[in-house]
Amino acid sequence: MSVGEMLGQPLCTLAFCWRIERRDGVTIGLTSHDRDLMIGGLLYRAAPGMTPSAIRSGIGLDGEDSDVGGALTSEAISEADLMAGRWDGAALELRLTQWEAPGELWLLLASGEMGAVARKGAAFTAELVGAAAVLGAAVVPSTAPDCRARLGDRACRVDMAGRRRVVRVTSVVDAVVAIGGLVPGDYAFGTLRWLGGANAGLTQGVVDNDADGVTLTDPPVFGVEPGTLALLTQGCDRQLATCAERFGNAVNFRGEPYLPGMDLLTRYPGA
């Protein structure tokens, strides 16, 4: 039976289902039905306040993005998690099912990633960015004296074994995290991912480090208890000298440090 035939029946039993998977692996299910639904081993909790905007589809690339709106609830999507960025970039699927026979009809209406999230009062709206959005990116990278690769990725190829370590935080003052036992400068431009506490799953950038701790780009979103575990990963300033001397990886440097800049074009005789 098609969706059109279902909508034409005297009694309509259709319900929307959202499957949202955060970047830290946490996955939740929500449904517009007034009761929970178990589908495919995932419990879709009743969230009648969740509503999708108009969804358009076609053979073109325009109009594939949509919006999802809903109420802030402590059990599912809390204000604190939204403001902390836990839901940024989360993978989202919107499907249609029949609540009388959950899962028998499992029609995919839209899929993508959660983009910009806006909050108003006790409600929120989230933009759903479709797969076609990647086609808006640059076809080729722009030239730059700095390396375009990330330390340890497919383009960089630096072996990250031994360049990550689990540390125990002793204290946090603003953006300074006390750890101890570090080599100064090794973790500058790296990352710190919280493994426990209220910030668990959040990743923050590291500006610099000394022997006693690291300085983050921003203070942790939530308070940090002494003894909290974190994963500390080394970074790189993306300069050719660092790539060659510290990592011995100049052959994989992804930048153009010797490419003449605009200043060469503005020179004139006698300058």
Give the CATH class of 3-134: mainly beta
Question: Looking at the chain, which residues constitute the CATH 2.40.10.170 domain(s)?
Answer: 164-234
Residue 132: its H or E element: none
Entry pTM: 0.71
Query: Per-residue pLDDT for 198 more than 80?
Result: yes
Question: What average pLDDT does the structure give for the chain?
Answer: 82
Q: Between 47 and 40, whose confidence is greater?
A: 40
User: In Å, how far are 191, 193, 196 from 228, measured between CA atoms?
Assistant: 16, 11, 6
Give the CATH class of 164-234: mainly beta
| CB burial readout 29-49, b (16+ within 10 A) else e | bbbbbeeebebeeeebbbbee
The predicted model gives 70-98 an average pLDDT of: 77
Which residues partner with 124 through β-bridges? 70, 119
The predicted model gives 46-51 an average pLDDT of: 71
Question: Looking at the chain, which residues constitute the CATH 2.30.110 domain(s)?
Answer: 3-134
Supply angle C-alpha 103, 35, 49, rounded to 5.
100
Most confidently modeled of 76-85, 140-149, 190-199?
Answer: 190-199
Tell me 250's DSSP state: G
Determine the length of the chain.
Answer: 271
Amino acid residing at 173: V
Q: How far apart are CA 113 and CA 57, in angstroms?
A: 17
pLDDT in tens, 208-264: 999 999 999 999 989 999 999 999 999 999 999 999 999 999 999 999 998 876 666
